[in-house]
Amino acid sequence: MGKYKVALLDADMTLLDFRRSEREALVKVLAAHGLPHDGGVISAYSEINDSLWKAMARGETAQAALVVERFVRLAKLLGSREDPEALNREYEQGLGREGYLLPGAMEFCQRLRDGGLELAIATNGLPAAQWGRYRGTGLDRVVPHLLVSVELGAAKPDPAFFDRALDKLGITDRSAVVMVGDGLETDILGANRAGIDTVWYDPERKPLSGPAVPTYTAASYDEIRALLLG
């Protein structure tokens, strides 16, 4: 047993294949409204969405505004008069039905659990989408807790997200907690601010950038497991 007793795991692109869920949910909504939904449209949406989530991490927009704004921008790009709020609502509902684990993610969680770590998913996503995919993929049978930003009333990288998450889990000793995630501006920066150790999951071996300072960096689930279980 290593130094950590509790691992907070990010969901999207750490355990779940968000890109695939996003693509499949979006194609269905756009097709249902008779809108174009080729690869170019999906990439354009993805860029809009990523830039808005980054703006939220910098404190420039709130989640409730962001989720509608991304469809305002997409509808404008497509020259469509569809209601962006309706598009977003249908998309979020669809997202909850399109859950895909990244290869090896389930085994990774099982091995951490079997190694004695208490596991919780700590995610900035939207409740319907996150709960739907948590249950739909069977992660709920291995990871007993799901903590979603909207339900906590704070989002990563706000340290309040971590304060409330640890409160919910009944944890007082932060030195026994580690945050594992692929997001430098959310997972790692937020845990830095909350005084929690981190593993930056960097499977593409991107260079470190920005103010976040990971305690460890790992490019595979095996590397993370070795770091956490010692």
Q: Which parts of this chain interact with Mg ion (CB under 5 A)?
A: 10, 12-13, 182-183
Q: Is the peptide bond before 157 cis (omega within 30 degrees of 0)?
A: yes
Q: CA separation (Å) from 36 to 72, 87, 115?
A: 15, 14, 48
Q: Which is nearer to Mg ion, 84 or 190 (CB)?
A: 190
Least Å distance between CB 172 and Mg ion? Answer: 26
Q: Which is nearer to Mg ion, 11 or 74 (CB)?
A: 11
Q: What share of the chain is helix, strand, coil (3-state, %, to 5)?
A: 55, 15, 35
Least Å distance between CB 124 and Mg ion? Answer: 8
Q: Which is nearer to Mg ion, 99 or 183 (CB)?
A: 183
Q: CA separation (Å) from 206 to 53, 113, 216, 220?
A: 19, 28, 14, 13
Q: Which is nearer to Mg ion, 33 or 193 (CB)?
A: 193
Least Å distance between CB 87 and Mg ion? Answer: 23
Per the CB < 8 A criterion, the answer to whether 124 and 149 are in contact is yes
